[in-house]
C-alpha cells in the first residue's frame, strides 16, 4: 500500500474517533503549525486543464519506455500506481489509464499562486517543494481573531477558488507531526492532532510514518521487531543507535517520542534546480548526449530565471546501463542563469569522463549554490557587448510564456529528440552594438 495509503487509512479512523468523541470537533489549541500539501498536484493541474479527464485514472509520466510516474490521480492510485513507479508497470496495472506528459510551467505557475495564498495568511512560510509548505500561524491567529482549524479551512478554500485544485492540511504542535497529519488528511481533508492525543495518535502509526524512515530503514526496524512508532519510542536509545546508527537513532527516537523543536523558517530557498532525462534506448553517441545536455540546460536555467535565482555551481549526473551513477560538478567564477554558460560547463564535465565505460541510460544537469539574482553585483568589462545571451534567453522566456514551450528553442534542438545532429560548441554571445556605438 505504501506510506501514503497507510497514513490515509489511519487518518480516516482517527477522524472518525474524534467526530464520535466530540460534538464541537477536535481541540486545536496550540496547533499553530500547519503542513499544507496539494493533492496529486501535477495530475490535479492536468485535470483542471482538461475537465473531461475528471474521474478518470490519470497518470503524469515522462515520455518513452523508461519514463517514470510523476503524479497520479486517486482513481489511478486505486490500481496501485504510485509516484516514481516505472510508467510501463503503471500501464500494466491500469491499461485504461490516461497518460499525459508533464507541463512544468503550469505547475510552477500554480505553485506561485498557492504560495502567495499562504503568505497572505502568515509571513512564516517554509516551502518544501512546489506543492507543500509549513506555515506558522501563531501570530496570525491573534491578528485575524480566528482558530487554527478555521484558518486551515480558509486556506483550502482559497486554493480551490484560485487554482481549482484541492489541498490537505495537517495541524499540530510540531513540524513533524503536522506533516504526518496532512498525510492522514488525504485526500482533500484536514487533520488536527490535539496536544493531549498527540502521542496516542503517533504511537499507533507504522514506523514508515516518521520523517526520514524510507523503505530500507523500515525493513531494518521490522527485522528487529519494530513495526509501530510506539514500539520504536519504547526502545532504549543506545540499542536503537546500534541498529540504525548514532545520528539516525537519535533523530528517530526523538520524533517517535514527540520531540521536534525545529521552527518554521520563512524565506527558505531551494538548494538546487535541475532536470534529467532517461533515454528510451541506451546512448553511446556523444552528439546525442550533447544535445540532451543543451536541452536540460535550457530547462534548468529557465527554472532559475522564473525563480529569480542564479547558480554558482553546475553539476552533471550520468547513469550507465548497469545503473552505476556518477556526478561531477564545477563552481563558476560568477553566478549565472544563462543556458549557454551552464551548457558549456556541463559539456566540459561530461567530456572529461571520456571514454565512456559503457552506454548511458540517464543524463542530468543540476545547478547548486543558488543566490538571488537581485543580490548579484554585475562585473562589467570594457569590451562587453550591450546585449548578450541573458537578454536573448529572457526574450525567449517571454515568447514561451505567451506561445508555449515550443515557440523558441536553439536550432540544434529542432528535429527528433534523440537525433544524431551534433550539439554545438558553446557559441559567443549574440552580437550587438558596443557601448557608445549605434
CATH number, residue 50: 3.40.1170.60
User: To the nearest whole number, what is the mean pLDDT of the chain?
Assistant: 84
Q: Is 132 a catalytic residue?
A: yes
CA distance 388 to 430: 5
The answer to whether the CB of 429 falls within 8 A of the CB of 388 is yes
> Is residue 266 assigned to a domain?
no
pLDDT band at 426 (very low <50, low <70, confident <90, very high): very low
pLDDT at residue 8, rounded to an integer? 67
pLDDT at 380 exceeding the cut of 50: no
Which residue would you say has higher pLDDT here, 73 or 269?
73
Percent residues over pLDDT 70 in the chain? 79
Q: Is 210 helix (H, G, I), strand (E, B) or coil?
A: coil
The answer to whether the CB of 45 falls within 8 A of the CB of 256 is no
Region 132-140: mean pLDDT is: 95
Q: How many domains does the chain have?
A: 4
- The verdict on whether residue 37 carries a ligand-binding annotation is yes
> Is residue 418 assigned to a domain?
no
> Is residue 431 assigned to a domain?
no
CA distance 155 to 168: 10
Question: Is residue 297 domain-shared with residue 360, that is, in the same domain?
Answer: yes
pLDDT at residue 162, rounded to an integer? 96
Region 309-319: mean pLDDT is: 93
pLDDT at 376 exceeding the cut of 50: yes
Question: Is residue 81 domain-shared with residue 117, that is, in the same domain?
Answer: no
pLDDT band at 345 (very low <50, low <70, confident <90, very high): very high
pLDDT band at 156 (very low <50, low <70, confident <90, very high): very high
pLDDT at 437 exceeding the cut of 80: no
CA distance 63 to 196: 49
Among the options 132, 277, 298, 341, which is catalytic?
132
Question: Is residue 319 domain-shared with residue 407, that is, in the same domain?
Answer: yes
Question: Per-residue pLDDT tens for 175-200?
Answer: 999 999 999 999 999 999 999 999 99
**Structural domain of 246:** 206-256
Q: Is 235 helix (H, G, I), strand (E, B) or coil?
A: coil
Region 81-110: mean pLDDT is: 93
CATH number, residue 183: 3.30.70.270
Q: Hey, which of 29-38, 103-112, 378-387 has the most confident mean pLDDT? A: 29-38
> Is residue 129 assigned to a domain?
yes
Instruction: Name the residue with cell 564545477.
Output: 330
Which residue would you say has higher pLDDT here, 361 or 216?
361
- The verdict on whether residue 397 carries a ligand-binding annotation is no
Question: Is residue 159 domain-shared with residue 231, that is, in the same domain?
Answer: no
pLDDT at 402 exceeding the cut of 90: no
pLDDT at residue 12, rounded to an integer? 65
pLDDT at 108 exceeding the cut of 80: yes
pLDDT at 308 exceeding the cut of 50: yes
Question: Is residue 75 domain-shared with residue 149, that is, in the same domain?
Answer: no
Region 390-399: mean pLDDT is: 56
How long a stretch of residues is the chain? 438
Q: Which three three-digit cell numbers place residue 379?
A: 562585473
CATH number, residue 238: 1.10.150.20
pLDDT at 395 exceeding the cut of 70: no
> Is residue 350 assigned to a domain?
yes
> Is residue 437 assigned to a domain?
no
Question: Is residue 285 domain-shared with residue 319, that is, in the same domain?
Answer: yes
Question: Per-residue pLDDT tens for 11-45?
Answer: 666 666 665 555 567 899 999 999 999 999 999 99
> Is residue 264 assigned to a domain?
no
The two beta strands, 132-136 and 190-192, are unpaired
Amino acid at each position: 500500500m505504501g506510506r501514503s495509503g497507510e497514513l490515509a487509512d489511519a487518518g480516516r479512523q482517527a477522524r472518525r474517533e474524534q467526530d464520535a468523541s466530540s460534538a464541537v470537533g477536535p481541540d486545536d489549541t496550540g496547533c499553530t503549525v500547519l503542513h499544507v500539501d496539494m493533492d496529486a498536484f501535477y495530475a490535479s493541474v492536468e485535470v483542471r486543464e482538461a475537465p473531461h479527464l475528471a474521474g478518470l485514472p490519470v497518470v503524469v509520466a515522462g515520455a518513452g519506455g523508461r519514463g517514470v510516474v510523476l503524479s497520479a490521480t486517486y482513481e489511478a492510485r486505486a490500481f496501485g500506481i504510485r509516484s516514481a513507479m516505472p510508467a510501463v508497470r503503471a500501464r500494466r496495472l491500469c491499461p485504461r489509464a490516461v497518460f499525459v506528459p508533464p507541463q512544468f510551467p503550469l505547475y510552477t505557475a500554480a505553485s506561485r499562486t498557492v504560495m502567495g495564498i499562504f503568505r497572505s495568511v502568515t509571513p512564516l512560510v517554509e516551502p518544501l517543494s512546489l506543492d507543500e509548505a509549513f506555515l506558522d500561524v501563531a501570530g496570525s491567529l491573534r491578528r485575524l481573531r480566528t482558530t487554527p482549524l478555521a484558518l486551515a479551512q480558509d486556506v483550502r478554500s482559497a486554493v480551490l477558488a484560485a487554482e481549482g485544485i484541492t489541498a490537505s492540511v495537517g495541524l499540530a504542535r510540531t513540524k513533524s507531526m503536522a506533516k504526518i497529519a496532512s498525510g492522514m488528511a488525504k485526500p482533500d481533508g484536514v487533520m488536527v492532532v490535539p496536544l493531549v492525543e498527540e502521542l496516542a495518535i503517533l504511537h499507533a502509526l507504522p514506523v514508515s510514518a516518521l520523517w526520514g524512515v524510507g523503505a530500507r530503514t523500515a525493513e531494518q526496524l521490522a527485522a528487529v521487531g519494530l513495526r509501530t512508532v510506539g514500539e520504536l519510542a519504547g526502545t532504549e536509545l543506545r540499542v536503537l543507535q546500534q541498529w540504525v546508527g548514532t545520528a539516525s537513532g537519535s533523530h528517530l527516537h526523538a520524533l517517535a517520542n514527540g520531540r521536534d523543536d525545529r521552527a518554521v523558517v520563512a524565506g527558505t530557498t531551494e538548494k538546487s534546480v535541475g532536470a534529467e532525462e532517461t533515454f528510451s534506448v541506451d546512448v553511446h553517441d556523444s552528439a546525442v548526449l550533447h544535445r540532451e545536455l543543451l536541452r536540460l540546460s535550457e530547462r534548468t536555467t529557465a527554472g532559475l530565471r522564473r525563480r529569480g535565482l542564479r547558480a554558482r555551481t553546475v553539476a552533471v549526473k550520468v547513469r550507465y546501463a548497469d545503473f552505476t551513477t556518477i556526478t561531477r560538478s564545477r563552481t563558476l567564477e560568477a553566478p549565472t542563469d544563462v543556458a549557454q554558460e551552464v551548457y558549456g560547463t556541463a559539456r566540459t564535465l561530461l567530456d572529461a569522463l571520456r571514454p565512456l565505460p559503457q552506454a548511458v541510460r540517464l543524463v542530468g544537469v543540476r545547478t547548486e549554490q543558488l543566490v538571488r539574482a537581485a543580490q548579484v553585483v554585475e562585473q562589467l568589462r570594457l569590451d562587453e557587448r550591450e546585449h548578450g545571451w541573458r537578454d536573448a534567453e529572457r526574450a525567449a522566456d517571454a515568447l514561451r510564456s505567451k506561445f508555449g514551450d515550443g515557440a523558441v528553442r536553439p536550432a540544434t534542438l529542432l528535429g527528433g529528440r534523440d537525433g544524431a545532429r551534433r550539439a554545438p560548441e558553446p557559441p559567443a554571445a549574440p552580437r550587438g552594438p558596443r557601448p557608445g556605438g549605434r
